[in-house]
Structure 1
Amino acid sequence: MGLIWTMIAKRLGLGLLTLFVISVIIFSATELLPGDFAKAILGQSATEETLAAFRKEIGLDLPAYQRYFNWLGGALQGDFGTSLSGNKRPVADLIATRLGNTLFLALYAAAIAVPLSLVLGILAALYRNSIFDRAANAAALTSISFPEFFVAYILIFVLAQSGFFPSMTRMDADTSLGEALYRAFLPALTLTLVVTAHMMRMTRAAIINLLASPYIEMARLKGIDPMRVILKHALPNALAPIITVIALNLAYLITGVVVVEVVFVYPGLGQLMVDSVAKRDFPVVQAVALIFAAAYVLLNLTADVLSTLSNPRLIHRK
């Protein structure tokens, strides 16, 4: 297990370094945006004295590097500053109300997509080159080719216009679990159709790659049922690439929900980020972007650890 802890420490170090670089990019990107930020918030009619007082209030009178380290130090303590729009609530409070909704949508989509991908991938490998295999691959390639917003609008046209599901997702603290599952079904189905294809094709490819192995041939010669050969002998040895692609797609489900949340007006982090960009509420934009980056780095670390644990040859190296 020493190798695992060493790998985790190295990955954590690289992850923290990556997050530091990303934080610099996020802060620099907002700094390079054209226009006067204070004037955009207060309006063109604001006087120079009002603009100067506002810049001093939010720290724009300080040098850029000093504002960056102040922001980074606050972010490390969970303090992302104050929102510049609305009633000037703390950014952490705004994110807390939306983060749970985004995680719920991501887990909802994952609960559908992961089992479905594994089943379709195993069946496609078992019935390779059959009509089912070709149809599944064709459907997977089709779903990969369509952008998320196009899939979302097709589902709205087919399922929402007919009255089966709502086209806009409304969530609040009083919404029950059953009602939440019903309201969020279309956004979750959109994400499922997008990520299932990648996981299904990787599962199929990993299992087919192992079916030509000598121990698989021996199991077949013994007359073992083909499904049992795949589930008991091939699948455990194909877990490393499958776990990696599942973890990466889970990272996408959390960080790539922006378009889907906007289409369905889903009250998550993606919708909050788009609204904040429109209002030039940069503290919120910076905080949400940093959270997305941290989630992606953490899930990549999880994928590395799980894929290593699933393959004894990576643990006991010679």
Structure 2
Amino acid sequence: MNPRASVVALVARRLALGLVLLLGVSMLIFAGTQLLPGDPAQAILGQSATPEALANLRKELGLNEPTSVRYTRWLSHAVVGDFGKALSNGQDISSALGKRLRNTLFLAGCAAMVAVPLAVFLGLVAARFRNTWVDKTLSTIGLATTALPEFFVAYVLVFLLAVKLQWFSSMSSIFEGMTFSERLDAIALPIIALTLAVMAHMMRMTRAAILNVMQSAYIETALLKGLSEFQIVVRHALPNALAPIVNVVLLNLAYLVVGVIVIEVIFVYPGMGQYLVDHVAKRDVPVVQACGLVFASIYIGLNIVADIVGIVANPRLRHPK
């Protein structure tokens, strides 16, 4: 088979698998929201609602219809970006979700711009000084930040940097009209917390990829030519180790977007995570379904991109045995 055709076939297979997976996730999201305790009609009208009013609202919301019918109607509207209206306030979910999604992507993007270069640099340093105190110190710090839960790290940052030192605000409120620098100042603590959450994994994978390439024969040739180890790492090892590094970076970007829920709640950041948690408390099922589907789409999409990058960059994945 033509190599180019083989790559296209593998990419198409990954895309088809991603769509099937997203369909399965949408079923789980819809089924899970139907199993939530309580009655949506009762939550909207309150405890004093009459049985007639509850029955009329259930009919209006389509709660009396079969689950398969409601799922098909919800999915057909969601595909075109129509998530309906929130039960709690009657607002259009798509419009509110769009604003919150932009805020979440802004936070995740800023965290990625800090975490990715820093992680790759520290991974190169760890590989350059492997098995020395520098490597062991970076590994220890990385394992410690990975082992600690995000909420614990976030609260420690708030206590140290916001309460004690008063360098940053403990609440990350942003609104229309703020300048870019004001927005960055407002989200400084969430960026630090997210960076600590994902940096260690990318750093360790960068180190492992560089050390794996350093065992190749052409590296020994470069050493015999008299090149310094730093030149070898930067000029020869890093370009050939980019495939696994890019793959792990994309996977961590997916985690950044989906994993901001806890951070957004702690810092009261107006993103999708805060929006989701607020409406879970109100048992606003359409909002919960919409947020879950958007989060799943982003996560699955970035994982597909990571797979495609791996296929294109690694010939062994294009010709599996």
TM-score (norm 1): 0.97
Q: What is the aligned-residue RMSD (CA, Å)?
A: 1.4
Distance (Å, rounded) in 1 between the aligned partners of 2:317 and 2:288: 40
Partner of 2:288: 285
Matches within 5 A, 1:115-194: 115-161=117-163, 162-194=165-197
Structure 1 unaligned blocks of 5 or more: none
Distance 1:266 1:135 in 2: 33
Q: Secondary structure of the residue that 1:78 maps to in structure 2?
A: coil
- The answer to whether the 8 A contact 1:19-1:293 is kept is yes
Please give the residue correspondences for 1:9-48 in structure 2 after superposition, counting only pairs within 5 Å.
9-48=12-51
Query: Would the aligned equivalents of 1:237 and 1:311 in 2 still touch at CA under 8 Å?
Result: no
Residue deviations 1:240-271 (CA, integer Å, cap 9, x gap): 22111111100000011100000000000000
Q: Say if 2:75 is the partner of 1:65.
A: no
1:262-290 CA deviation, whole Å, 9 max, x = no partner? 00000000000000100101101101110
Cα offset for 1:54? 0.9
- The aligned runs of 1:1-318 (5 Å cut-off) are 1-86=4-89, 88-161=90-163, 162-312=165-315, 314=317
1:41 deviates by 2.2
Q: Would you say how many aligned residue pairs link Structure 1 and Structure 2?
A: 317
Distance (Å, rounded) in 1 between the aligned partners of 2:37 and 2:159: 38
Q: Report how far residue 129 of structure 1 moved.
A: 1.0
One-letter amino acid matched to 2:254: A
8 Å CA contact 1:239–1:307 kept in 2: the answer is no
Structure 2 CA distance for aligned equivalents of residues 253 and 147 of structure 1: 14
| Cα distance, 1:317 vs structure 2 | 8.2
- Is the Cα–Cα contact under 8 Å of residues 152 and 187 in structure 1 kept in the other structure? yes
SS of corresponding position for 2:168: coil
**How many Å apart are 1:85 and its aligned residue?**
1.0
Q: CA deviation at 1:301?
A: 1.1
Per the TM alignment, residue 310 of structure 1 is displaced from its structure 2 partner at its CA by 2.5
Shift of 1:312: 4.6
Q: What code does the residue aligned with 2:18 have?
A: G
Q: Distance in 2 between matches of 1:203 and 1:101?
A: 29
Aligned partner letter, 1:150: F
Counterparts of 1:107 and 1:41, CA distance in 2: 36
Q: Percent identity?
A: 52
2:99 corresponds to which letter in structure 1? T
| Alignment TM-score, normalising by the size of structure 2 | 0.96
